[in-house]
A and B are shown apart, each in its own frame.
Chain A
Amino acid sequence: MTTVDLDRPPAEDATAGRTYVRHVDGPRPAPSRGRRQLSAVTASERAIGVGSGFAALALAWLLCFQLLPWGSPLGFVVVAFVLYLAIVTVTTSVVSPGPAVADRVAAAAITGGAAVVAIGLVSTIVFIFVRAAPALPHLSMYTHDMAGVGPRDPLTQGGLLHAIVGSVIQVGIAIVVTVPLALGAAVYMTEVGGRFARVIRTVVEAMTALPSIVAGLFIYTVLLLQLGMSKSGFAAAMALSVMMLPIIARAADVVLRVVPSGLREASLALGASRWRTVWHVVLPTARPGLATALILGVARGVGETSPVLLTSGASTFLVTNPFGQQMNSLPLFVFSTVRSGEPLFIQRGFAAAAVLLALVLVLFALARFLARPRGRR
């Protein structure tokens, strides 16, 4: 609903501009019923909603826990929701005509679907942080690596330092490689144009379909097997670059394309060269959008496990040299610890997942901050 604001209360001065006509004689006018409430929920509607809710919960409880062996939280919620839809249909159809029934049921179904998604997202985030909570307060998590830490060693020993540093180094290299290339290609596609630019755009868009695991396998085959490099942070960074390059280039292209062409033409009409137009008009206009595109691409790269799984190897100790040595990273650490089956390792894996998730949340908030509308800056 963009234009009709049904929820606004009637203006206070609704009667201010009224014209009063004094009745001299004749029949009395019908008593004013006041201004009609357009959006307020009527008492009967509210009663139907609340009553159906209670009825559905009670019936679902009866069905799930007393009559049928369906007693699980998920089953209860699903059964209650389906029953709610059914009961609302019946009760509304008693008092309202057909379209109102359809409206009510559709509203309940759509709101329910959105609520399921919200539950999914919230449960994911809460689940990760709750499971990570026992491990997160230990300072050693952030200051130590896993060198010499066995599966039985308590959480106070060892930490995630190597994974955090590895992730930062790998993604840093990937950013250095991809951002100039992606930005340059995007500028060429939008500002220079022509047939060649269309070819580039087509190929870049096609390559965004490349599954990340295939990007990893490509780097594994070319760099590691054919060129004989060893598993290293650099190889992982290359795999991430191959994956991120089309994504960032395409996002930057989209952002640059929505720069109003009026601005460009104004700059050119004032006698600026094309290069100056790009540097002083187009790029500054698109800066928030470009930053968002870049940061979201980076967030994607940080969390991507499959290319790293094939190319970096997993060291247990701090490695800062991206060449020649195996290097761990956060997603890979999560993956390997969770697969190990050792309870304390899984705990550490959750801590790493929480750090990763926090990193992504921070990057995301940063992207939102940069992309916020201009008026509020």
Chain B
Amino acid sequence: MTSTYVPTRPADRLPDEPRPVNRAATGGDRAFVLGSGAIGASVLVITSGIGLFLALQAVPTIARYGPTFFTQNEWAPDEGKVGIAGVLLGTFTVAVVAMAFAFPLALATALFISEYAPVRLKSFLVSMVDLMAAVPSIIYGLWGFLLLQPQASRLARWLHQYLGWLPFFHVDTDPNAAQWDQTEYTASAFVAGIAVAMMVLPMASSVMREVFSQAPAGEREGALALGSTRWGVIRSVVLPFGKGGIIGGTMLGLGRALGETIAVLLIISPSFDLKFRPLEIGTNTVSALIAGRFGEASPGQLRALLTAGFVLFLITLVINTLAAMVVARSRSGAGTDL
């Protein structure tokens, strides 16, 4: 015979109330929270300090030169002319050329790795793309300066010869001369842009590939089962799914292309003309301007250079933020669970 015993509540007990829970860390945890918080705060102070410092340097420059800082194209501090219109245009020219080469190549590489490459080769190819991102920019600068430049100047002349009626393929020389003027086609935004493309391509490509590889397998198989070809799967499943990754990866690459210094500095010959003629010799970018002018700059000019850098930083920041938003929206679930 078994019976269930129900404990009886002592009569003198107080009524039930929730146990007090104290979530505040104690002991070692407290030290951990405070310590890591202190490190986090110092990182915050350091990084935001740089941003603030740059912003503060911009104030006197903008106050002195006013809006002409953004419209003046020459950088001649001795004559009182300081403006970033020329270098900003040059920066964008180089970046646009770089993306014109990097975007299709990055897309093709990402699609090849995720859709066409044999399964056994895939991880090898992925690490090759990562390796490409790790190669220092000075190496690409050497490659662009000494190996690519002769080839690229021929290509530039060809573009000028046959597509010269397009205003942005114009070069101020006769492309059909018996002795064509090769120097007019070198040290240009075009050549620098190709070298920069090599740097931003792996970054854009790996973002794209990551998103492509997350394309739902069920939809892929569904497309195949309906008789789709490989390209059909790409067009109807992979590309629509990976649209965010394509846009975001391209913009991340663009952000990197805008700030690239050393390869550009090696290749271009500086000029401050306000022109969009990427094939022609001479251009300048914000970062190349800084690298070229910091040494002889007076404190006021240094502030102007810092302002130029700050403007570049802001542009990059906006582009990166937009890219991060686009990429984040195309994925689901930030964390993973067991």
Contacts and interface: CB of A to CB of B under 8 A. Distances in A.
Nearest to B201: A117
A7 interface: yes
Interface in A187-205: 187-189, 191-192, 196-197, 199-200, 203-205
Contacts of A204: 43-44, 47
Nearest to A204: B47
A188 B25 contact: no
Nearest to B132: A121
A109 B104 CA distance: 10
Interface stretch (A15-23, A27-35, A144-152, A219-227): A219-227
A123 B147 contact: yes
Contacts of B140: 124
Contacts of B59: none
A377 B230 CA distance: 35
Contacts, number: 298
Given A103-B232, A196-B37, A260-B338, A211 B291 contact: no
A274 B33 contact: yes
B234 interface: yes
A211 B130 contact: no
Nearest to B295: A310
A181 B39 contact: yes
Contacts of A191: 36
A117 B136 contact: no
Contacts of B118: 7
A335 B50 CA distance: 27
Interface stretch (B4-12, B254-262, B270-278): B254-262
A89 interface: no
B308 to A, nearest CB: 9
Q: Contact residue range for chain B?
A: 35 or more
Q: Contact residue range for chain A?
A: 35 or more
Contact of B306 (A192, A221, A302): A221
B134 A209 contact: no
Interface string B54-74: 100100000000000000000
A189 to B, nearest CB: 7
A102 B233 CA distance: 12
Contacts of A225: 299, 302
Interface string A292-325: 0000100110111110011000000000000000
Interface string B215-251: 0010011001000111110100000000000000000
Residue among A117, A127, A212, A221 with the highest chain B CB neighbour number at 10 A: A117
Contact of A106 (B44, B46, B234): B234
B283 interface: no
A200 B43 contact: yes
B231 A218 contact: no
Residue among A120, A246, A262 with the highest chain B CB neighbour number at 10 A: A120
A218 B58 CA distance: 13
B229 to A, nearest CB: 4
A99 B135 contact: no
A233 B173 CA distance: 46
